[in-house]
Amino acid sequence: MGRIMKSTPKNGQSGDAAAISAAGLSVPVEFKGLFLDEAEKVLAALGEPRYRARQVLEWIYRRDAPSFSEMSNLPAELRSRLTVIGRILRLAPATKNVSTSDETTKFLFRLRDGEAVETVLIRYRQWASACVSTQVGCRMGCSFCASTIGGFVRQLTAGEILDQVLRVQALTGQAVGRVVVMGTGEPLENYDATIKFVRLLHEPYSLGLGYRHITISTSGLVPGIQRLAAEGLPVTLAVSLHAPRDELRRQLMPVAKRWDLEELVGAADAYGEATGRRVTYEYTLIDGVNDGRREARELADLLAGHLAHVNLIPLNPVAERAFRPSPGAAVREFQQSLERKGVAATVRREMGADINAACGQLRRARAKEGAARGEGAGRTDRPVKGR
Ligand code: SAH
């Protein structure tokens, strides 16, 4: 009843493709990564009723259907037409899941073009947290980070970011209740795809995740933070600080040459005000570089009285870098001196150092293995040059 009659042109399948193109969409249609209104446009071009779009997306996001043929509440004829004009992307596991603790499992996934991305699943008691990548490689150039060593390769799409969550759920049988955008890449440099991903996570036809259970971590792109504040999404903002004064921060993070600490903390404060969310400052402790009494004092002075929280991260050593993690005693002392000055600080447990869990290390390890075996330049580690 009330069903729109389906138009089945004489030329059948190519008629569908033409109708989709005429609606301004490209064929094949990549369904994973579409919002409901976008999927409705596709189904409308096929002469199908609106509610079919929701059915298709529920299959893709909630039931993780690998193909249209599984969608048993759609007419068989529609399933075969969708198979012709549509695709459902799916990342392929590129390594065995590496896990040496009960809590952390690291995955390397192969993308359709042969590139690779890392995703980490961190298990807590009842729920799990997924750490997703937003780019293949990274152009930020932080001196202690493995992700940036091979340079930037390409942006991920919203569907590719979302599928990291779907894949770790499927491969581990664990429901993801929290998402941290803290894998490889700078999310605010891939702004549109990151926001689309975050919104998709929240949609009721998808995972229905609360925005409060999502954290976006940035190396400190001030205009991106301002744009995010205006977005009106109450996601937690994490700012990678790593140094309490500009001169030291500029040595560790090239991005600090563009915006100084005053601008950065100002933007983070404005974010906190706009969203009511306490900002997290990430501070990786590097032995003899940023972990002294002076830095603890400067950091406390910088953040005291702000709606902020410091997450101290013992450095994960990266083979290509000389930096060492601060000893446990220095970490505790640093934390205590922040707390004494009224700045909330927690220490992140060093997770997965033995499974290359620091950003970008698994992908690099694989690229190096490939190079050692003489597999060309290693598709997972292509520099940005010539692109
Ligand atoms: N580009 C974003 C998100 C990815 S990095 C950002 O910079 O925030 C996630 C966090 O891990 C950042 O705080 C980053 O500085 C930190 N990190 C990178 N390499 C690390 C290492 N070797 N040990 C510990 N933390 C590291």
353 pLDDT higher than 60: no
User: Which residues lie across from 154 on neighbouring strands?
Assistant: 136
Q: What DSSP state is assigned to residue 103?
A: S
Distance (Å) from CA 182 to ligand 1 centroid: 7
92-372 CATH: 3.20.20.70
Distance 323 CA to ligand 1 centre (A): 14
Is residue 273 over pLDDT 90?
Answer: yes
Q: How far apart are CA 377 and CA 177, in angstroms?
A: 38
d(CA 336, CA 320): 31
282 CB within 6 A, ligand 1: yes
pLDDT band, very low/low/confident/very high, at 354 (cuts 50, 70, 90): very low
Find out whether 324 and 287 touch, Cβ atoms under 8 Å.
Answer: yes
358 vs 318: CA distance, rounded Å: 8
Please identify which residue in the block is written with the tokens 């059948």. Answer: 12
Q: Is the CB of 284 under 6 A from ligand 1?
A: yes
User: What tokens were used for 47?
Assistant: 């002469």
Q: How confident is the model at residue 348 (pLDDT cuts 50, 70, 90)?
A: confident
Locate CATH 3.20.20.70 in the chain: 92-372
Range 240-260 burial, b when 16+ CB lie within 10 A, else e: bbbbbbeebbeebbbbbeebb
The pLDDT assigned to 356 comes to: 46
Q: Atom 20 in ligand 1: which residue has the minimum CA distance? A: 145
- Atom of ligand 1 lying closest to residue 184 CA: 4
CA 198/CA 362 separation, integer angstroms = 25
Helices 293-303 and 328-340 pack at an angle, to 10 degrees, of 40
Helix, strand, or coil (residue 198): helix
| pLDDT on residue 385 | 30
Catalytic residue among 40, 48, 118, 186: 118
Question: Cα–Cα distances in Å, from 283 out to 88, 286, 340?
Answer: 39, 9, 17
pLDDT in tens, 113-167: 999 999 999 887 778 999 999 999 999 999 999 999 999 999 999 999 999 999 9
Contact 203, 236 (CB under 8 A): no
Q: Got the DSSP string for 220-257?
A: --HHHHHHHHHHT--PEEEEE---SSHHHHHHH-GGGG
Q: Is 153 in the pocket of ligand 1 (CB under 6 A)?
A: no
pLDDT (0 to 100) of residue 207 = 97
**Mutational test site, ligand 1, from 318, 359, 361, max ligand atoms within 8 Å of CB:** 359
pLDDT of residue 11: 46
C-alpha dist (Å) from residue 358 to 80, 201, 244, 355: 43, 25, 22, 8
pLDDT over 70 (residue 4): no
Distance CA 198, CA 245 (A): 32
Is the peptide bond between 66 and the residue preceding it cis, with omega within 30 degrees of 0?
no
Q: Is the CB of 91 under 6 A from ligand 1?
A: no
Distances (CA, A) of 81 to 7, 78, 261: 12, 5, 55
246 within 8 A of 261, measured Cβ to Cβ = yes
For residues 138 and 186, what is the distance between their CA atoms, to the nearest angstrom? 7
Mapped onto helix, strand or coil, the DSSP state of residue 162 is helix
Q: Nearest-CA neighbor of 132 among 223, 228, 214? A: 214
Give the CATH fold of the 14-87 domain.
DNA polymerase; domain 1 (1.10.150)
Residue in 182, 258, 356 to alter for ligand 1 test, most ligand atoms within 8 A of Cβ = 182
Given a cut of 50, is residue 377 above it in pLDDT?
no
Average confidence score pLDDT of the chain: 89
Length of the chain: 387
pLDDT band at residue 352 under the 50/70/90 scheme: very low
Helix or strand run (H / E) with residue 127: none
**CA 356 → CA 8, 185, 320, distances in Å?**
53, 16, 13
Half-sphere exposure of 347 (CA within 13 A, CB side): 19
| pLDDT(320) > 90 | no
Local structure of 175: helix, strand or coil: coil
- Name the residue among 386, 384, 368 with its Cα closest to residue 376: 368
Question: Is the minimum distance from the CB of 182 to ligand 1 under 6 angstroms?
Answer: yes
Task: Answer yes or no: 115 catalytic.
Answer: no
Predicted local confidence at residue 100, as pLDDT: 59
**pLDDT confidence of residue 364:** 65
For 5-56, write each residue's pLDDT tens digit.
444 444 456 799 999 999 898 999 999 999 999 999 999 999 999 999 999 9
- 10 Å CB burial of residue 49 (0-12, 13-18, 19+) is middle
- Residue 98 is given by DSSP the state B
Ligand 1 contact, 209 CB (< 6 A): no
For the stretch 88-107, pLDDT in tens is 999 999 986 666 566 888 89
Rounded to the nearest whole angstrom, what is the distance from the C-alpha of residue 30 to the centroid of ligand 1?
31
Choose which residue among 190, 222, 249, 284 to substitute to test ligand 1 binding: the one with the highest number of ligand atoms within 8 A of its C-beta.
284
Question: Are 312 and 285 contacting, i.e. CB atoms less than 8 angstroms apart?
Answer: yes
Q: What is the CA radius of gyration of the chain?
A: 23
Tell me what pLDDT residue 156 has: 98
Q: Say what the pLDDT of residue 383 is.
A: 30
pLDDT score of 10: 44
Average confidence (pLDDT) over 245-251: 98
Total-model pTM: 0.90
Closest atom, ligand 1, to C-alpha of 238: 8
Q: Parallel, antiparallel, or unpaired for β 128-131 and 116-123?
A: antiparallel
Residue 9, helix vs strand vs coil: coil
Q: What pLDDT sits at residue 1?
A: 42
Q: CATH 1.10.150.530 region(s) of the chain?
A: 14-87
Between CA 70 and CA 16 the distance in angstroms is 21
| Ligand 1 atom 21: residue of nearest CA | 316
Annotated catalytic, 359? yes
